[in-house]
Amino acid sequence: MPLESVPFSELLRQPAETAERLSRARAVRLRRRDAADLVLMSADRAAAEGEVVDLTARLLASVVRRDPTLVREALPTVLPWVRFLPPEDRERMANEFVETAEAAAAVGNTAAVSQLLTEWRHTAEIHADPDLHRVLVAPSSDDFGAVPRPIAE
């Protein structure tokens, strides 16, 4: 089922009609002008999705304990950018991914998994660009001084 998208103001003006959209879609994306969008879904749906994430993370951790090479071999297929990582980083990334996914499922919050994937993807981007990699791994003897405090908006 598709994810419907409506302005946040529609929820405020027509709450029953907006909630009714959930019968046709797994969730409704509430678009906001000056803030991050929100997603509205039924509590049953959210619980079911959480249960699937938890089960998947625990199952993955169990499989990895039994045969650690399976995840390492599958990652480049699932996340093609992993191919840019050196072999030792691929192994470290696979281990961190499994450990983080298992811990995130235990607390019911996948934000740490998303952050981990973002960090490793950026690392792969550096390895993919020889010029950038050369600059970042070159020794630096300079002290670039104090970092100015960010200006509040």
Tell me if the pTM is above 0.75.
Answer: no
Range among 54-63, 110-119, 140-149 rated most confident: 110-119
Give the pLDDT confidence score for residue 21 in this predicted structure.
86
Q: Where does CATH 3.40.1620 sit in the chain?
A: 4-41
Q: Output the CA angle 84-86-91, nearest 5 degrees.
A: 110
- pLDDT tens, position by position, 115-143: 999 999 999 999 999 999 998 888 887 78
The 3-state DSSP class for residue 21 equals helix
CATH number (3.30.450, 3.40.50, 3.40.1620, 1.20.120) of 4-41 reads 3.40.1620
Burial class (CB in 10 A: 0-12, 13-18, 19+), 120: buried
Among residues 52, 74, 71, the alpha carbon closest in space to that of 63 is found at 71
